[in-house]
Amino acid sequence: MPDWFGYLPTLLQGVNITLQITGAGLLLGLVIALSLTWVLERRIPVLAQLTEGYLLLLTGTPLLVQIFLIYYGPAQFEWIKNSWAWTYLREPMFCAILALGMNAGAYTCRLFKGALEAVPRGETLACQALGMNNWQTLSVKLRHAMRRVIPAYSNEVVLVLKGSSLASTISIMEIMGLAQRLNGQTYDTLAIFGLAGAIYLLLNGLLTLAFRRLEKRALQFQTQQ
């Protein structure tokens, strides 16, 4: 009979690492998304074209490939290994967060851009008439686009959490990394990966509930205004 409770404490040890990777990746992705959205909104020459290329590259290739390129790629260049950047690029945790953040930033930028395009142009003109700068105008438009962004962004958060499982491929002992190690020791595949899946399901369920509450509060805030 599978030792479900015997495996659970070991797998739960990886929850903290999973949440760290997910949280840091989302934070980095948010910074990247806001920066790229501003570039696209301003239609800055050259930068806008580079941004479109970045979005195409990051949304058009698998996250696993991106993780491998960021983790294994720099080691092919001596000048990188001899630079200060190697202090960070040789760390699996840093590379996993960087890959997740860059990937999440590209998809989140698409979400923000789509939501901003749905905001009536009159609001932009009103911000300009009040003398707001570009960042202030973008902030106002993002607040008005919040109702459309939150449901889609909650899906992105769930995808990033699930995507964090790929960090196990570069030797990070999060939930999936520990599950693979346990499976290699016991070969109790069904029980181990079934438990790992249940943990991810629980975490995703909690995140979904949290975003539903956030969406409800955002809707109430907009109604009051």
Which amino acid appears at position 217 of this protein? R
Q: Is 92 exposed, middle or buried (0-12, 13-18, 19+ CB in 10 A)?
A: middle
Residue 119 reports pLDDT greater than 90: no
Mean pLDDT of 101-120: 87
Predicted local distance difference test score (pLDDT) of residue 24: 97
Predicted local distance difference test score (pLDDT) of residue 219: 61
- Judge contact between 160 and 100, C-beta under 8 A: yes
- Judge contact between 120 and 72, C-beta under 8 A: no
Per-residue pLDDT tens digits for 20-45: 999 999 999 999 998 998 899 888 88
**What are the two backbone dihedrals, phi and then psi, of residue 138, each rounded to the nearest 5 degrees?**
-65, -40
Per-residue pLDDT tens digits for 53-85: 999 999 999 999 999 999 999 989 999 999 999
Q: Is 223 exposed, middle or buried (0-12, 13-18, 19+ CB in 10 A)?
A: exposed
**Which residue ranges form the domains of the chain, and what is each CATH number?**
9-224 (1.10.3720.10)
The 8-class DSSP code of residue 202 comes to H
pLDDT-above-70 percentage for the chain: 95
| Closest C-alpha among 172, 198, 181, 184 to residue 4 | 198
19/175 Cα distance (integer angstroms) = 10
Residue linked to tokens 């301003």:
42
Residue 5 reports pLDDT greater than 80: no
Residue 222 reports pLDDT greater than 70: no
Per-residue pLDDT tens digits for 180-219: 999 999 888 899 999 999 999 999 999 999 888 877 776 6
Per-residue pLDDT tens digits for 163-188: 999 999 999 999 999 999 999 998 88
Contacts within 8 Å (CB) and 24+ apart, 86-94: 92/167, 92/170, 92/171, 92/172, 93/20, 93/21, 93/167, 93/172
pLDDT band at 225 (very low <50, low <70, confident <90, very high): low
Average pLDDT of the chain, as a whole number: 87
Task: Report residue 50 as tokens.
Answer: 């580079």
